[in-house]
Structure 1
Amino acid sequence: MRALVVYCHPRADSFTAAVRDTVLRRIEAAGGAHRLIDLYAEGFDPVLSPDEHAGYETAGNATPVAEHVAALRWCDTLIFVYPTWWYGQPAMLKGWLDRVLLPGVAFLMPDETHADIRPGLTRVTRLGVFTTCGASWWLTRLIGAPGRRTILRGVRLLCARRCRTAFAAHYLMDSAPRDSLARHLDRVAAKVDRLARPLSRRQEQP
């Protein structure tokens, strides 16, 4: 298991940081390797520049984010840890998706024999999302949970055909008691443990 953990939160003392630490500990306990991308800590620029947009479909499109693309190509497990803001990913994480999940990296563009895009992350056999939400579960569902759909549907379609997924969210964060937060960390740990279990032969095949 080679896990790339993409973490996005501006504060070191956040509960999301505790979720991140739980994820990393459980990966290590399972004997897996991991790399952490801390977007705020490195000052990642989420803005797709005019030059990047102009070269979006060219062979050198990954040059501005080469280290992130290399980490993405290294992993077989992709995990996102972030707070849900306005029902979706923080702007910095959305910008990471825009700039790093590129044609030729995350997907293949349509061509003469293919009318639609094709998966490019077929080496990724595990995909996880661990998030926190200020809104309630029912309100998030009413809106449609666009952040969850972006990754567990959109990114998932670019991964291996039988990609294993995991999701855990803590809702109503602003009024959450300590025991609820502690239970959620236990839930995150259990989800990561299940995600890290050995894959079947069918799941290992792209």
Structure 2
Amino acid sequence: MKHLIIYAHPNPGSLNHHLKQVLTEHLWESGHEVEVRDLYQLNFNPVLSIEDMVGQRKGQVAEDVKQEQAFITWADCITIIHPIWWTGLPAILKGYIDRVFSYGFAYRYDQGVQKGLLTDKQTVIVNTHGKSHTEYNEIGMDKALSLTSDKGIYIYCGLEIKRHFFFDKADRINADTIERWTKQLKETF
């Protein structure tokens, strides 16, 4: 199977980086093909420009966007790993989605009806956040996060969500918790 990992965290010492490394190694050891797109390491330009917007409607995208779209087309499974910051995606990942999940590539409208174009691809989302599941549940943030990312982005574009991990209290974890999360991640694949 061909796995694409889209990763967005600037700190190579972070829990997110550890989870990316563990998953990458696990997939390789299991005989899968793996490509990792580390958005910070790539210095990906997240700014959707007027040129991007005009080009998308014409089916013309910048070279950096074409390259990322080629990786998405290639993949059977897309895993997106990032922290939840300010109840959402890191800016670099939001900009990646703005530019790469473009009209005509990730979705289109047929006679006014939206159609996701990234079908037949499994998606796993791995998020870390500081609040507890209980705190997120009490304020409805758990539902909001699922609605805005799962339905508002990934399902909208035709992706099939295999699993969405919300690893909570990630800023105060211990080795046992990391081991448990690592096991859960490996079992998913």
- Fold-level similarity (TM above 0.5): yes
> Displacement of 1:116 after TM fit?
1.8
SS at match of 1:56: helix
Structure 1 CA distance for aligned equivalents of residues 129 and 174 of structure 2: 14
Aligned to 2:2: 2
SS at match of 2:126: strand
Contact 2:8 / 2:82 at 8 angstroms: preserved in 1?
Answer: yes
Identity score, percent: 25
Q: Give structure 2 stretches of 5+ with no counterpart.
A: none
Residue correspondence of structure 1 range 153-168 to structure 2 within 5 A: 153-154=151-152, 155-159=154-158, 163=160, 165-168=162-165
Aligned to 2:179: 182
Q: Give structure 1 stretches of 5+ with no counterpart.
A: 194-206
> Displacement of 1:62 after TM fit?
5.0
Deviation track 1:142-188 (CA, whole Å, cap 9, x = no partner) reads 2433444333223124226xx35112222112222222222211221
Aligned to 2:123: 127
Contact 2:155 / 2:161 at 8 angstroms: preserved in 1?
Answer: no
Structure 1 CA distance for aligned equivalents of residues 22 and 151 of structure 2: 24
Structure 1 CA distance for aligned equivalents of residues 64 and 58 of structure 2: 13
Which amino acid is 1:152 matched to?
D
Cα 1:63–1:101 change in 2 (3 A) is same
Count of aligned residue pairs for this structure pair: 186
Which amino acid is 1:52 matched to?
D
Contact 1:127 / 1:156 at 8 angstroms: preserved in 2?
Answer: no
Structure 1 CA distance for aligned equivalents of residues 186 and 5 of structure 2: 14
Structure 2 CA distance for aligned equivalents of residues 164 and 2 of structure 1: 16
Structure 2 CA distance for aligned equivalents of residues 130 and 92 of structure 1: 16
Which amino acid is 2:123 matched to?
L
Aligned to 1:99: 99
Structure 1 CA distance for aligned equivalents of residues 140 and 62 of structure 2: 34
Structure 2 CA distance for aligned equivalents of residues 32 and 133 of structure 1: 29
Structure 1 CA distance for aligned equivalents of residues 37 and 64 of structure 2: 16
> Displacement of 1:58 after TM fit?
1.2
> Displacement of 1:30 after TM fit?
3.2
Q: Does 1:140 align with 2:139?
A: no
Aligned to 2:148: 150
Contact 2:116 / 2:155 at 8 angstroms: preserved in 1?
Answer: no
Q: Does 1:23 align with 2:19?
A: no
Residue correspondence of structure 1 range 40-79 to structure 2 within 5 A: 40-61=40-61, 63-79=63-79
TM-score if structure 2 supplies the norm length? 0.89
TM-score if structure 1 supplies the norm length? 0.82
> Displacement of 1:13 after TM fit?
0.8
Contact 1:137 / 1:171 at 8 angstroms: preserved in 2?
Answer: yes
Cα 1:90–1:106 change in 2 (3 A) is same
Deviation track 1:33-82 (CA, whole Å, cap 9, x = no partner) reads 11110000011111101211233311213545111011111111111011
Contact 1:7 / 1:20 at 8 angstroms: preserved in 2?
Answer: yes
SS at match of 1:134: coil
The CA RMSD measured in Å over matched residues stands at 1.8
SS at match of 1:57: helix
